[in-house]
Chain A
Amino acid sequence: DGGITQSPKYLFRKEGQNVTLSCEQNLNHDAMYWYRQDPGQGLRLIYYSQIVNDFQKGDIAEGYSVSREKKESFPLTVTSAQKNPTAFYLCATAGLATPEPREQYFGPGTRLTVT
């Protein structure tokens, strides 16, 4: 069935380690996005990609990296340079060619805890 998959649901890492969060979609959507949610902060954009092999920084890209080698996949790496990595991470997609291109569809999220 169609949708957006984020795995795992919960992830635990030690401070100083890089960690990669996966996001896969079979909606054939062109654009993919990464957000983080912190209590009282809403959703903040980390990185986004509108086409394969291209991506742009969002509002809080420092300490993160991404790649877009395939249309279906947009993994996010949380590096040791990210000062407050513990958060709920959400991946989203949007079909830019659809009648309502700006409606983003979200995955179930990954809660990352770094200790």
Chain B
Amino acid sequence: DQQVKQNSPSLSVQEGRISILNCDYTNSMFDYFLWYKKYPAEGPTFLISISSIKDKNEDGRFTVFLNKSAKHLSLHIVPSQPGDSAVYFCAASNMNRDDKIIFGKGTRLHILP
């Protein structure tokens, strides 16, 4: 049973345009959400996070939106740059339960020239 779902395995976006990566979750106890970026043959790097008490968090070109009622979050990248081409993992955790993070299967983002 997949608790964190990234339904788009891949996404192609023109350079300079907005990239929107989506993530859905099923466990209403999740209270903290993270996005990681991963290049091939490297470890993931932390990108941005959001607590369930917020609905938006922004860091430079990256913004994460959280819709708790829909159990949905999205990562917006604007403007998209060639270096953004990577796999993006959505992840979620429950602070009161344990320190495990549950990862989605990832979305591969291709930035087109």
A-B contact count (CB 8 A): 55
Contacts of B93 in A (CB 8 A): 102
Q: Give the chain A neighbours of B42 by CB distance below 8 A.
A: 108-109
Interface size (A, Cβ < 8 Å)? 30
Give me the interface of B with A, judged by CB distance under 8 Å: 6, 9, 32, 34, 36, 41-46, 49, 89, 93, 95, 99-101, 103-106
Contacts of A43 in B (CB 8 A): 44, 89, 103
B41 in complex: contacting residue of A41, A42, A48, A111, CB < 8 Å? A111
A76 CB–B CB distance under 8 Å: no
Question: What's the Cα separation between A106 and B45 when bound, in Å?
Answer: 7
Which applies to chain A's interface (DSSP): helix, strand, loop or mixed?
A: strand
Chain B residue nearest in CB terms to A96: B99
A100 at interface, CB cutoff 8 A: yes
Closest residue of B by beta carbon distance from A9: B41
User: Residue of B at shortest CB range from A40?
Assistant: B105
